[in-house]
A and B are shown apart, each in its own frame.
Chain A
Amino acid sequence: MNFNTLRKSIPQIITIILFVSVIAYFWSNTYSNMEYYGMEFGYDFLKKAASFDIQFSLIEYDGSSPYYRAYFVGLLNTILVSVLGIFFATLIGLIIGISRLSKNYLVSKLAEVYIELFRNIPLLLQLFFWYFAVLRALPLPENAINFGDAIYVTIKGIYVPKFLWSNFNYFISSFIAAIIAGFIVFSYAKKQRENFGKHIPAFFISLGILVVFASSGFIFGLVDLEFEYPEIYNLSETVFNFRGGVTIIPELLSLLFALSLYTSTFIAENVRAGILGVDKGQKEAASSLGFTPGLTLRLVVLPQALRIIIPPTTNQYLNLTKNSSLAAAIAYPDLVLVFAGTALNQTGRAIEIITITMATYLTLSILISIFMNWYNRRIAIKEK
């Protein structure tokens, strides 16, 4: 063995020994501690009845449901708020990012103030502000803010009509069929354009297909949609509440506000950097070819800007998903509150539950980054 291999292998061996001994140290401590406190290790508690209620759930759940069902309720709630948050953050971020670059001095300054303001205040504080200061200032159910007798805004949440479908399966399948048809139209249009230089308005055709397919069910009476409107009723002499319809709880709303406003500032900065990162010559070349400003933006600037925008924005999506765990602070029943909070307190299975929670977030993060990497590769420059 010569000196060089020795020099390379010694640090590695030391690392392994250190790592293994730290793990072994923690393991033996944990083992003796658990024995001392009479704690057990194992995942069989997941099948036991959870016996606690969850205020907001996308799937059927009650106190007699097992812990793993509570876990899924929490997970779905986390996914719900993350997906909605990502949607709104992207939308607001795009608008603010473009306004930041506006030639209009006032608009660009306002966008800057917005970015600096919402970026430099901790997310938890914003969350508390929306939840405890803004949404608590809404009226009681009896004085609800009324939008066309269908939507009511109260301190207990926003009540919106519920969709009551009959033959929903038919509607969904026609919807999916329309989307598939749209894909076919798009690929056909692309082929025509690339091979024969013909332009087919693929977007409008597929939009038409979508409308026709979706409405056909209604026209032929196969699908029916009714609304269940929320209505106010007396809980007791002086206490009122709404029933029927769908309730959007204030916890969800404030979480959504906080997450999307906070994350949108970072996305806005990414959008700005992306658009600024496109070479000026590209725009000039496009306009010298006779492209209108709209076409230049759509066909020349945005596709190139997206390549710069997407990688850091992926990070922001990941951050938003992870930040949605702040829900625990305002009692929105997300994964952390339901599982790492209530379930942990009830069972005392700290190791199992925290491991599952962390592994879940790790999986979510990895899934999002795999998807975004795939998308990023798809739109990357293909050198010919």
Chain B
Amino acid sequence: MMLINNIIKPKTINQNTLVIFGSILVALSFLDVVLLSVFNINLTGSSSGISFFVPLFIGFIGLYYIRFEHTNYKFINTINKNLNSDWFNSILTLLSVFILLKFIPIILNWFIFDANFVGTTKEECTGDGACWIFINVWLKRFTYGLYPDSETWRINLAFILLIFTIGVAYFSKPKIRTYIILFLLFVFPFIALNLISGDVAGLTYVETDVWGGLALTLIVSIFAIIFCFPLGVFLAMGRRSELPVIRYFSVGFIELWRGVPLITVLFMAANMFPLFLPEDIFLDKLIRCIIGIILFEAAYMAEVVRGGLQSLPKGQYEAAKSIGMGYWRMHLLVILPQALKIVIPGIANTFIALFKDTPLIFIVGLLELIGMIDLAKTNPKWLGFATEGYVFAALVYFIFCYSMSRYSQRLEKRLSTER
């Protein structure tokens, strides 16, 4: 009787024995799952359908015996606090660990151990895992699109210049930095555009049809970001204006663009917009699409900025007016610097959303990164590597978006001022 009672209700007196016993049980349950998933050895004889059931049961009992308010082992205490606070938590923990143990080996095998890295043709992909040769061979196309190989240095130069100028701006004094940023915003985009498209200073002309890959993704998003921001700020100010015509105009504009999907905007830019222009003016499809993206994202930006404008206390406006500032000076010097600081996370989110929206230009026939992957995977020589292509693109996008969101979080912390 004592024994049964002791098993069902663990006592603190036998704590050390029970902890060791419980740890062994938990270790056994993990071992079972690892053996099953990595080496395909079935230790417990559980059938494939409920392969988690037996280890779950063993682990559950093990965790039950470990669960003490205080033990002599620091490690066990941490586990009890974070992973094993009650029976429900212990089941969640076990299931999470099992899922990780089951899928991490599969994913790692596919990514690294069974994958092929070196080679130049499809036939060299012999492993069961990923064929990274596909990415390797097409990497140049994924980066530059169909841009002629002999001219890719122009794209490289443009981006190196961009990074270099940003680097200089980062390390220079605040006063010079302002000028560099102004240069980056208003002069550099056009220098870069001329450099890449050519037809000036002896550079051969490269039409936008062959632009593509990651370079196009970046070009489109950088341009759209630069122009949608000021437009969004103006629209936000317009929406809060005292002048009814300007207010209604802004509201109508914002709600119109926010109410429709980007695809229809791009369809409009591609199919309908040429009709709006006189016959002798030809606007490139890429530029039409960028304009569409700018108008679309500006509406979202306007709503974000409006949130910042609304959250400022009225006293700020009144104080600025009382020292004799006019509308524009008040906004430029007092209101916007504070309002924009409040909405940095929102602005960053809009930029990230814009960056993630750029692949949509694929639908109207512009081949940015995803479009190039689509092209590569339908190439007769390289059929059947869709997964590799999409995983690669996902990785690229993830790196960009994740680092942007991390940077915005840091910026938010650095700029936050206690009120």
**Which of A's residues lie within 8 Å of B, judged by CB?**
8, 11-12, 15-16, 19, 26, 29-30, 32-34, 36, 102-107, 110, 116-117, 119-126, 128-129, 132-133, 136, 322-326, 328-329, 336, 340, 344, 350-351, 354, 357-358, 361-362, 365-366
Does B190 belong to the interface (CB within 8 Å)? Answer: no
Asked whether B275 lies within 8 Å of A30 as measured between CB atoms, the reply is yes
**Which among A120, A126, A132, A366 is the interface contact of B259 at CB below 8 angstroms?**
A366
> What are 27 sample pairs from A and B whose C-beta atoms fall under 8 A apart?
A8-B242, A26-B276, A29-B278, A33-B279, A34-B275, A103-B85, A103-B89, A104-B85, A106-B83, A106-B97, A107-B92, A107-B93, A120-B352, A120-B356, A122-B359, A129-B390, A136-B386, A322-B261, A323-B261, A326-B360, A344-B271, A354-B264, A354-B272, A361-B259, A361-B260, A361-B264, A366-B259
B132 → A minimal CB distance (Å): 15
Provide the residues of chain A in CB contact with B352, threshold 8 Å.
Answer: 120
B250-273, CB < 8 A from A: 256, 258-264, 267-268, 271-272
Interface of chain B: mostly helix, strand, loop or mixed: helix
Asked whether B363 lies within 8 Å of A29 as measured between CB atoms, the reply is no
User: How many angstroms between the C-alpha atoms of A249 and B266 in the bound complex?
Assistant: 27
Closest to A128 in B: B390
Per-position 1/0 for B114-156, Cβ under 8 A of A = 0000000000000000000000000000000000000000000
Provide the residues of chain B in CB contact with A119, threshold 8 Å.
Answer: 401
Inter-chain pairs besides A102-B89, A106-B93, A354-B267, 19 sampled, C-beta below 8 Å: A29-B275, A29-B278, A33-B274, A104-B96, A106-B83, A119-B401, A121-B398, A124-B359, A128-B370, A132-B377, A132-B390, A136-B386, A344-B267, A344-B271, A354-B272, A357-B267, A362-B256, A362-B260, A365-B260
Asked whether B359 lies within 8 Å of A365 as measured between CB atoms, the reply is no
User: How many angstroms between the C-alpha atoms of A132 and B377 in the bound complex?
Assistant: 10
Asked whether A123 lies within 8 Å of B261 as measured between CB atoms, the reply is no
Provide the residues of chain A in CB contact with B401, threshold 8 Å.
Answer: 119-121
Provide the residues of chain B in CB contact with A29, threshold 8 Å.
Answer: 275-278
Asked whether B264 lies within 8 Å of A125 as measured between CB atoms, the reply is no
User: How many angstroms between the C-alpha atoms of A138 and B333 in the bound complex?
Assistant: 60
**Given known A-B contacts A107-B93, A121-B397, A15 and B245 have beta carbons under 8 A apart:** yes
What's the interface size class on B, roughly? Answer: 35 or more
User: How many angstroms between the C-alpha atoms of A32 and B277 in the bound complex?
Assistant: 10
Provide the residues of chain B in CB contact with A121, threshold 8 Å.
Answer: 356, 394, 397-398, 401
Asked whether A120 lies within 8 Å of B243 as measured between CB atoms, the reply is no
**Which among A30, A36, A110, A128 is the interface contact of B276 at CB below 8 angstroms?**
A30
B67 → A minimal CB distance (Å): 13
Does B249 belong to the interface (CB within 8 Å)? Answer: yes
Closest to B242 in A: A8
Does B393 belong to the interface (CB within 8 Å)? Answer: yes
Asked whether B263 lies within 8 Å of A325 as measured between CB atoms, the reply is yes
Asked whether B246 lies within 8 Å of A15 as measured between CB atoms, the reply is yes
**Given known A-B contacts A350-B272, A350-B275, A358-B264, A104 and B246 have beta carbons under 8 A apart:** no
User: How many angstroms between the C-alpha atoms of A340 and B364 in the bound complex?
Assistant: 12
5 smallest A-B Cβ distances: which pairs? A120-B401, A322-B261, A12-B245, A362-B259, A325-B261
Does B357 belong to the interface (CB within 8 Å)? Answer: yes
**Given known A-B contacts A19-B249, A104-B92, A354-B268, A322 and B360 have beta carbons under 8 A apart:** no
User: How many angstroms between the C-alpha atoms of A122 and B398 in the bound complex?
Assistant: 9
Closest to A327 in B: B263
**Given known A-B contacts A125-B394, A133-B390, A106 and B276 have beta carbons under 8 A apart:** no
B360-411, CB < 8 A from A: 360, 362-363, 370, 374, 377, 386-387, 390-391, 393-394, 397-398, 401-402, 405
User: How many angstroms between the C-alpha atoms of A340 and B272 in the bound complex?
Assistant: 11
Does B230 belong to the interface (CB within 8 Å)? Answer: no
**Given known A-B contacts A124-B359, A340-B267, A36 and B279 have beta carbons under 8 A apart:** yes
Does B244 belong to the interface (CB within 8 Å)? Answer: yes
Provide the residues of chain B in CB contact with A8, threshold 8 Å.
Answer: 242-243
Interface hub of B261, B377, B394, B401 (most chain A Cβ within 10 A): B261
Interface of chain A: mostly helix, strand, loop or mixed: helix
Provide the residues of chain B in CB contact with A362, threshold 8 Å.
Answer: 256, 259-260
Per-position 1/0 for B83-95, Cβ under 8 A of A = 1010001001100
Does B82 belong to the interface (CB within 8 Å)? Answer: yes
User: How many angstroms between the C-alpha atoms of A19 and B238 in the bound complex?
Assistant: 14
Closest to A137 in B: B387
**Which among A103, A110, A132, A325 is the interface contact of B386 at CB below 8 angstroms?**
A132
Provide the residues of chain A in CB contact with B374, threshold 8 Å.
Answer: 128
B145-175, CB < 8 A from A: none
Provide the residues of chain B in CB contact with A325, threshold 8 Å.
Answer: 261, 263-264
User: How many angstroms between the C-alpha atoms of A329 and B96 in the bound complex?
Assistant: 35
Asked whether B264 lies within 8 Å of A102 as measured between CB atoms, the reply is no
**Given known A-B contacts A106-B96, A328-B363, A361-B260, A125 and B245 have beta carbons under 8 A apart:** no
Closest to A39 in B: B275
Asked whether B259 lies within 8 Å of A336 as measured between CB atoms, the reply is no
Closest to A12 in B: B245
Closest to A369 in B: B259
Provide the residues of chain B in CB contact with A358, threshold 8 Å.
Answer: 260, 264, 268
User: How many angstroms between the C-alpha atoms of A326 and B364 in the bound complex?
Assistant: 12
Asked whether B362 lies within 8 Å of A105 as measured between CB atoms, the reply is no
Closest to B358 in A: A122
